[in-house]
A and B are shown apart, each in its own frame.
Chain A
Amino acid sequence: MQIGEMAKLIRSKNAGPFSMTIDILFEHESYYDRVKNSPDFNVDTIANVYKLNSADIDIYTCDPILAIKISFNRPVISGDIGDTDVFGGQQHGPIVDMEIPDRNNASY
């Protein structure tokens, strides 16, 4: 299942002009836990998707509201030469498409 099918909101935004943050909010705890605990969801898999270094990515989890946050420095600073997204509002697409298999119910 893709994260986009499990989350109630996935959004990206600047966290100041020099970094960017992606929020993933869930309605159901089971989906939140599945993504949070998945070996397919960590700084390495995200770095792979965005072509960044794992060491440059931070993941925060927020249990009370079933939220996961991914933050990283912008490769191009907001509004700088070559920037494509001044507000950083459209950088979450690849997370929507990320496939997170249900390891608990898998048949292998």
Chain B
Amino acid sequence: MKNIHVLAATGMLGTGFSEASFDRALKNNPSVIGCDAGSTDPGPHYLGHGTPMVSREATKRDLTIMIKGALKNNIPLLIGSAGTAGSNVHVDWTVDIVKEIAKEENLSFSLAAIYSEISQPKLINAFRKGKIKPLNNAHDLSEESILHLSKVVGQMGPEPYINALNQGAQVVVAGRSSDTSIFAAVPIKEGINHGIALHASKILECGAGCAETRIHPDCMSAWMYDDHFIVEPPNPKMKCTPVSVLSHLLYENYDPYHLYEPGGMLNTSDAHYESFNERGVKVTNSEFEPVSMYTVRLEGVEHIGYRRIAIAGIRDPFILRQLPNFLEECKNVISKKVKESLNIEKENFKILFRIYGDSGVMGELEPFQGKMNHEVGLLTEVIADSAVNSQSIMSIAWHTMLHHPIKEWSGLVSQLAFPFSPPDSDMGPVYRFGLNHIMEVEDPLELFEMNISRL
């Protein structure tokens, strides 16, 4: 029976994997090597700022092994969501590393770069035509709010990868991609049905994450057939079990049974998981329900200012007993001083407090909010329109709070324990996610530009 063996090198490019596991998997003749290089998990910073979460050195190490393995076996290597957020600078950053490897290792191959950034005119045009639809918990969108977005990417499906492969690409570095598209591209190209290909890819995308115990980040193999797939780790020290594979479907998914992909929905409600050999799991009954309108999920960020923080502790029982009031009073005094000294209106900056030992971890969700112990940690945050202003405001803020009086004590007091000198620190530009929408497109390739070069 025909099968397509897909090898996921690791869960996140640049977090490493065992070379022995990789070599072992290559001996089983995979049809393709795939690797996810991105995530929105670490927040909006990476898309906004254009920097990657992982180091260049670690990425180069992983890529070198993958590229050499792919060329040796004459199979393609697909890298998706390059550089953490998959924006154009992230793709170029990764392409630059690939070129350096080709030069240093004296390798020659065809490289495709696929870009996923969407320009503002394109977004506005789609918005006017009613082609941008909100998902759960999305912000209200307007032309004005689109203009505030500093960077937008679309999650490509498997089609741009298939297009690159059809044009002879051996290594593909792609921008933002749906997690499954990286691993499903070759199986779908080879005629494996979407249900099997997408379900297997969903399991593969975190590499060894679906193993019972992931000892370290590592490789994972899946063999996709017409009516089932088998997933098994190449590392003999790890194993997959029906529980570990199904548990992985719970991880980071809102609904483990209905997973929305660019061309339809993967339905795993009736899927069956059973042990296969010693360390593998066989999965049957994966269903795909196609939709008539192809959609691309959008991610976008807005640049909202510059952050500065100060870390302190409070131990005085009298302050702790009135902490919310104390902080509110401080905020008012700070705002007044900022207006006097800097001529900045309070509407033009933000002061936020997180009280560790109270609700620093869960905020408004914390059921024990207001029930503090003998001390708390206080994180003070200032967001303003420039780094200079946030520094100026923070200087006023921490000094005001340090000496803010309470009625229980007479005389000059010092209310905060700062562990560091200086007490405050620059946190750089601040971004926020501003899009949780999908865009309807006529053609799965239309948003994603590609260029192929021969190295």
Contacts and interface: CB of A to CB of B under 8 A. Distances in A.
The yes or no verdict on A and B being binding partners is: yes
Contacts of A25: 247
B252 A75 contact: no
A94 B367 contact: yes
Nearest to B139: A77
Interface stretch (A8-16, A32-40, A99-107): A8-16
Contact of B243 (A65, A71, A75): A65
Interface stretch (B42-50, B67-75, B394-402): B42-50
Contacts of B242: 64-65
A85 B42 CA distance: 10
A16 B254 contact: yes
Contacts of A67: 246-247, 250
A14 B252 contact: yes
A44 interface: no
* Most chain B beta carbons < 10 A, residue from A18, A50, A52, A75: A18
B41 A14 contact: yes
Interface in A18-48: 18-19, 21, 23, 25
B363 A77 contact: no
A51 to B, nearest CB: 7
Contact of A81 (B304, B365, B436): B304
Nearest to B431: A79
B257 interface: yes
Contacts of B436: 16-18
A33 to B, nearest CB: 17
A65 B242 CA distance: 8
A52 to B, nearest CB: 8
Given A18-B138, A93-B362, A69 B273 contact: no
A1 interface: no
Contacts of A93: 361-362
A107 to B, nearest CB: 29
Interface residues of A, number: 41
Interface string B130-144: 000001111000000
Interface string B421-455: 00000000011110010000000000000000000
B361 A90 contact: yes
A81 to B, nearest CB: 7
Given A19-B137, A60-B256, A78 B433 contact: yes
Given A81-B304, A81-B383, A90-B362, A13 B42 contact: no
B136 A73 contact: yes
B264 interface: no
B40 A17 contact: yes
A49 B362 CA distance: 12
Interface of B: 40-45, 135-138, 242-243, 246-247, 250-257, 273, 304, 350, 352, 354, 359-365, 367, 383, 430-433, 436
Interface of A: 13-19, 21, 23, 25, 49-52, 58, 60, 62, 64-65, 67, 69, 71, 73-87, 90-91, 93-94
The 8 A-B pairs of least Cβ separation, nearest first, read: A79-B43, A15-B254, A73-B137, A18-B137, A86-B43, A84-B363, A71-B254, A79-B44
Given A17-B436, A60-B257, A79-B433, 8 more contacts: A18-B138, A23-B247, A62-B250, A65-B243, A67-B247, A71-B255, A79-B45, A93-B361
11 contacts: A16-B40, A16-B436, A18-B433, A21-B250, A64-B242, A64-B246, A69-B250, A78-B43, A81-B304, A83-B363, A84-B361
